[in-house]
Structure 1
């Protein structure tokens, strides 16, 4: 008799859980959580909207223009908070230069501007004159999401024997 009661309770319990408000994947009920809710809580703001919103808010709060044009006239070129990196020239596209880095570090694409100081073996050159494979020590600063090259010191690639 005990076995019969346990079996009945198990069947009824399973049936009760089967009546959950989630429905089926093909036919979800209105009360079912969405995929967004299942994946985690949401603030209602997409990540790619945050950067521009911060820039706009900074402009309102500080009262200064934070655009790319204004950055050329302000502290970006002071180099006060510049970052350093080393790599080899992999590609050049318009105003951009791509540096390959050692080991498993990702490539870096730097925006080269008219104000960028570029040297090759100690001589001033244009960024377009840097040969592929040249070793570069770069100083850059972030302008929003864009890394802006302040200084590129390159040495010619060694000739293969």
Structure 2
């Protein structure tokens, strides 16, 4: 008898849950929120359109140089010019010009050719100079990053050779 009662309670309980009016997407329950309540009032502007519009307007107001900004943004996307991601090396100037510097390293380490760009910070004895002004034999502490197959110098700190 107990088994029959338990079975009846289980069936009735399951049937009671099945009768709950939750509705379906095609036929929502009367207590379900309306689409207007779910989506809110419409302003006619999508949220994803607001951010870019504000950014462009701000650039126009402050008069930002768009070409320089685009160049810097492209460099930042590749990770170039972020000193926290830079490699370091020490060497002496073997050859140089405005576009690159070749550094000889100690022992059996190979020479390194670093590309010098206009953003590269070049100093000699603490004074800003051009890469072509570095004397041969000057000791250099370089920070650089890799860009494809090129090693791009971020910073060259040189000290004059001892006489």
Q: Report TM bin, short chain.
A: 0.5 to 0.7
C-alpha deviation, 1:88, in angstroms: 0.2
Match of residue 119, structure 2, among 115, 118, 128: 115
C-alpha deviation, 1:70, in angstroms: 6.9
1:1-161 alignment, distance < 5 Å: 71-74=74-77, 75-159=79-163
Name segments (4+ residues, structure 1) moved above 6 Å.
Answer: none
CA contact (8 A) 2:98 2:131 kept: no
Give the structure-2-normalised TM-score.
Answer: 0.53
- Choose between structure 1 and 2: higher helix proportion: 2
C-alpha deviation, 1:93, in angstroms: 3.8
CA contact (8 A) 1:138 1:149 kept: yes
* Structure label with greater radius of gyration: 2
CA contact (8 A) 1:121 1:155 kept: yes
Show CA shifts across 1:43-76 (max 9, x none).
Answer: xxxxxxxxxxxxxxxxxxxxxxxxx997535420
C-alpha deviation, 1:78, in angstroms: 1.4
Using the alignment, how far apart are the partners of 1:144 and 1:69 within structure 2? 18
CA contact (8 A) 1:138 1:152 kept: yes
Which ranges in structure 2 are unaligned for 5 or more consecutive residues? 1-70
RMSD: 1.9
Gap change, CA 1:134 and 1:91, over 3 Å in 2:
same
C-alpha deviation, 1:137, in angstroms: 0.1
Aligned residues: 92
CA contact (8 A) 2:97 2:131 kept: no
Using the alignment, how far apart are the partners of 1:158 and 1:139 within structure 2? 23
Show CA shifts across 1:28-55 (max 9, x none).
Answer: xxxxxxxxxxxxxxxxxxxxxxxxxxxx
